[in-house]
Protein backbone atom coordinates (compact mmCIF):
# COMPACT_ATOMS: atom_id res chain seq x y z
CA UNK A 1 0.00 0.00 0.00
CA UNK A 2 1.33 3.42 -0.91
CA UNK A 3 1.93 6.14 1.67
CA UNK A 4 -0.98 8.19 0.32
CA UNK A 5 -3.30 5.20 0.70
CA UNK A 6 -2.18 4.76 4.32
CA UNK A 7 -2.73 8.45 5.02
CA UNK A 8 -6.19 8.30 3.49
CA UNK A 9 -7.09 5.18 5.47
CA UNK A 10 -5.77 6.72 8.70
CA UNK A 11 -7.74 9.89 8.04
CA UNK A 12 -10.94 7.98 7.40
CA UNK A 13 -10.49 5.92 10.58
CA UNK A 14 -9.74 9.06 12.62
CA UNK A 15 -12.84 10.73 11.22
CA UNK A 16 -15.02 7.74 12.06
CA UNK A 17 -13.61 7.58 15.58
CA UNK A 18 -14.33 11.25 16.16
CA UNK A 19 -17.85 10.83 14.80
CA UNK A 20 -18.51 7.93 17.18
CA UNK A 21 -17.25 10.00 20.11
CA UNK A 22 -19.43 12.97 19.19
CA UNK A 23 -22.48 10.73 18.82
CA UNK A 24 -21.76 8.99 22.13
CA UNK A 25 -21.32 12.32 23.93
CA UNK A 26 -24.52 13.74 22.45
CA UNK A 27 -26.50 10.65 23.44
CA UNK A 28 -25.00 10.78 26.93
CA UNK A 29 -25.93 14.44 27.35
CA UNK A 30 -29.51 13.63 26.35
CA UNK A 31 -29.59 10.77 28.86
CA UNK A 32 -30.12 8.15 26.16
CA UNK A 33 -26.99 6.14 26.96
CA UNK A 34 -24.84 5.56 30.00
CA UNK A 35 -21.52 7.03 28.88
CA UNK A 36 -19.63 5.71 31.87
CA UNK A 37 -20.83 2.18 31.10
CA UNK A 38 -19.90 2.62 27.43
CA UNK A 39 -16.39 3.76 28.40
CA UNK A 40 -16.02 0.75 30.67
CA UNK A 41 -17.23 -1.58 27.91
CA UNK A 42 -14.66 -0.11 25.52
CA UNK A 43 -11.94 -0.57 28.14
CA UNK A 44 -12.84 -4.18 28.83
CA UNK A 45 -13.35 -5.25 25.21
CA UNK A 46 -10.98 -8.02 24.21
CA UNK A 47 -9.43 -7.47 20.80
CA UNK A 48 -9.44 -10.20 18.19
CA UNK A 49 -6.11 -12.01 18.02
CA UNK A 50 -3.52 -9.85 16.32
CA UNK A 51 -5.49 -6.60 16.73
CA UNK A 52 -3.89 -5.08 19.81
CA UNK A 53 -3.98 -1.65 18.17
CA UNK A 54 -7.79 -1.91 18.18
CA UNK A 55 -7.69 -2.37 21.95
CA UNK A 56 -5.40 0.64 22.34
CA UNK A 57 -7.76 2.70 20.18
CA UNK A 58 -10.77 1.71 22.30
CA UNK A 59 -8.80 2.67 25.42
CA UNK A 60 -8.08 6.08 23.91
CA UNK A 61 -11.70 6.56 22.87
CA UNK A 62 -12.89 5.64 26.38
CA UNK A 63 -10.48 8.19 27.80
CA UNK A 64 -11.68 10.85 25.38
CA UNK A 65 -15.33 10.18 26.25
CA UNK A 66 -14.49 10.35 29.97
CA UNK A 67 -12.53 13.57 29.47
CA UNK A 68 -15.45 15.14 27.61
CA UNK A 69 -17.79 14.15 30.46
CA UNK A 70 -15.48 15.69 33.07
CA UNK A 71 -15.18 18.85 30.95
CA UNK A 72 -18.97 19.15 30.68
CA UNK A 73 -19.39 18.61 34.43
CA UNK A 74 -16.75 21.21 35.23
CA UNK A 75 -18.54 23.77 33.08
CA UNK A 76 -22.07 23.06 34.30
CA UNK A 77 -21.45 23.16 38.06
Q: Is 65 exposed, middle or buried (0-12, 13-18, 19+ CB in 10 A)?
A: buried
pLDDT tens profile 27-68: 999 999 999 999 999 999 887 788 888 889 999 999 999 999
Q: What is the arithmetic mean of pLDDT over 15-28?
A: 96
pLDDT score for 77: 67
Q: What predicted TM-score, i.e. pTM, was given to this entire model? A: 0.82
Q: How far is CA 10 from CA 18, 21, 54, 72, in A?
A: 12, 17, 13, 28
- Cα separation of 29 and 49, whole Å? 34
Instruction: Classify the C-alpha dihedral 49-53-58-62 as positive or negative.
Output: positive
Q: Is 1 exposed, middle or buried (0-12, 13-18, 19+ CB in 10 A)?
A: exposed
Amino acid sequence: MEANAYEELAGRIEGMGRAVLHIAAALEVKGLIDGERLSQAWRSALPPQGFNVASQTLQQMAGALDDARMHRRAHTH
